[in-house]
Amino acid sequence: MGRKILISAGEASGDFYATGLIAALRRRRGDLDFFGCAQPEMRAAGVRPAMDAEKLGVVGLVEVVKHLPAIYGEYRKLLRAAREEKPDLAILTDSPDFNLRVARHLREMGVPVVYLVAPQVWAWRQGRVKQMRRDLRQLLCIFPFELPWFEARSVRTQYIGHPMARHIAPTVSREAWFAEQSLDLSKPVVALLPGSRRGEITRHLPALLDAVARLPGVQFVLGTPPSVGAAFFANQSLPPSINLIEGRTWDLLAHCEVALAASGTVTMEAALLGTPVVSYYRVAGLSWWIGRLLVDVPFYTMVNLVAGKRVIPELMQDEMTGERLASETLRLLQGDRERDDMKRGLGEVASALRSDHDPFETAARIVDEILEENYAIAADSVT
């Protein structure tokens, strides 16, 4: 009889991780049926959606409040599906505000929970550790400094390595990509990556467009995630000089000179591809003020946290202006030393994240072992 797995990812980066693990699990065994909170790539991989994942795409302590009724409705749909389908195991990917609540109910149902991509409780809300220790069968970390932190707090943890460090690569050559995008090989390309959610994109676009106006002689390509799509930008008053490309972030990062990227997974993708990057982020003023009181980290981007030093600029909140974005871009476009220094730092980060084994295969082995262990326990209880 086939095994059912509930799998949940609340955003674009989680989509990549969850889909990679699904593929690795299916290479190990063909009797798996996946359902849950499914992003576009997961649905394409055959995950049956039990709720509308797009309604989870909200960031900010204040911004999320008005969306709570819709989010709670989807949360109840997922739990109802879990009760009806009785999964043998659950894989929850990132999105801790949503998934840790799901984990508590799944544990009460007797469903073992594997959590892929650790919540950043080492930065804030450390009180969640007690819940993770209670509700998670296994935590799978993708950053090396997380393993000793969680082990010291008695959370069952394994470090699998960063999946992107092994899998990230462009799909076409630079020349082919420039031809495909109708770009001039003699002019620099700057990537605009405003985020993976509509709310954050809307907040970031004004400053990005101001920066574009301050950078003549530069070609711009704006990358959009499949969860948002290029159609969303039709009403954003973009100048015709900006090319749009959907769902091909790795090609864009690999072939641009500089990336202007919202703080998040995409800055790590830039680091792994060795692309100079300027990070930024903006939320509602009250969210920023509250967050500053709660977050205790020396840097805001994971690139700098892994490096343990400032490798890439972080233009947060009021520092995110068109003038600052343009200034940092010019510094990297015109300064060979600045570019070389940043590339060296990015190379150190990439080296720190590489592992000897494929992280997805390591994660799949761990999940498979838990499935078999639970099957053996169930069989013993019957006999």
Mean pLDDT of 139-163: 95
The pLDDT value given to residue 6: 98
Instruction: Name the percent of the chain lying above pLDDT 70.
Output: 91
pLDDT at residue number 232? 82
CA distance 368 to 36: 19
Using a 10 angstrom Cβ sphere, with 0-12 exposed, 13-18 middle and 19 or more buried, the burial of residue 274 is middle
> Above 90 in pLDDT, residue 43?
yes
pLDDT digits (tens, 9 = 90+) for 252-305: 999 999 999 999 889 999 999 999 999 999 987 676 666 665 666 788 899 999
Helix (H, G, I), strand (E, B) or coil at 295: coil
What pLDDT sits at residue 383? 53
User: Which pLDDT value is given to residue 332?
Assistant: 97
Lowest mean pLDDT among 67-76, 342-351, 359-368: 67-76
Q: How does residue 235 score in pLDDT terms, banded at 50, 70 and 90? A: confident
Least confident residue range of 1-15, 164-178, 189-203, 223-237: 223-237
- The CA distance from 239 to 225, in Å, is 20
For residue range 189-227, list pLDDT tens digits in order: 999 999 988 888 999 999 999 999 999 999 999 998 777
- The per-residue pLDDT of the chain, averaged, comes to 90
DSSP 347: H
Q: How many residues does the chain have?
A: 383
Please name which of 307, 285, 287, 282 lies closest in space to residue 297, comparing C-alpha atoms: 307
Res 138 pLDDT > 60: yes
Residue range 293-319: mean pLDDT, rounded: 88
In the structure encoding, which two tokens stand for residue 31, read together?
């009797």
Nearest residue to 36 via CA among 79, 69, 72: 79
Report all structural domains of the chain as residue ranges with CATH numbers, in order of start. Answer: 3-161+355-382 (3.40.50.2000), 167-353 (3.40.50.2000)
Type of residue numbered 78:
L
pLDDT band at residue 36 under the 50/70/90 scheme = very high
- Tell me, what's the pLDDT at 233? 81
Residue 377 is predicted with a pLDDT of 67
pLDDT for res 366: 97
Q: What angle do CA 265, 49, 362 make, to 5 degrees?
A: 50
pTM for the full predicted model: 0.83
114: which residues sit within 8 A by CB, 6+ positions away?
89, 90, 91, 92, 136, 137, 138, 139, 140, 363, 366, 367, 370
Count of C-beta atoms within a 10 Å radius of residue 154: 11
Radius of gyration of the chain (CA): 21
Measured distance CA(169)–CA(51) in Å, rounded: 32
* pLDDT for the residue numbered 56: 67
Output the six-digit token pair for 60. Answer: 């900010």
Mean pLDDT of all residues in 30-44: 94
How far apart CA 318 and CA 316 sit, in angstroms, is 6
Query: 57-109: per-residue pLDDT in tens?
Result: 544 444 455 557 778 888 999 999 999 999 999 999 988 989 999 999 999 99
Q: What percent of the chain has pLDDT over 90?
A: 70
Helix axes 128-135, 96-108, angle to 10 degrees: 40
Order the strands of the 138-141 sheet from edge to edge. 48-49, 32-37, 3-9, 89-93, 113-116, 138-141, 157-159
C-alpha 165/C-alpha 161 separation (Å) is: 8
Residue 116 half-sphere exposure, CB side, CA atoms within 13 Å?
Answer: 31
Under 8 Å between Cβ of 74 and 52: yes
What pLDDT sits at residue 241? 86
Q: For every residue of 95-164, which 3-state class applies, written as one string? A: CHHHHHHHHHHHHHCCCCEEEECCCCCCCCCCCHHHHHHHHCCEEEECCCCHHHHHHCCCCCEEECCCHH
Q: Provide the residue type at 22 as one letter.
A: I
Q: What pLDDT does 66 receive? A: 55
Contacts of 200 (CB under 8 A, 6+ apart): 59, 194, 262, 281, 282
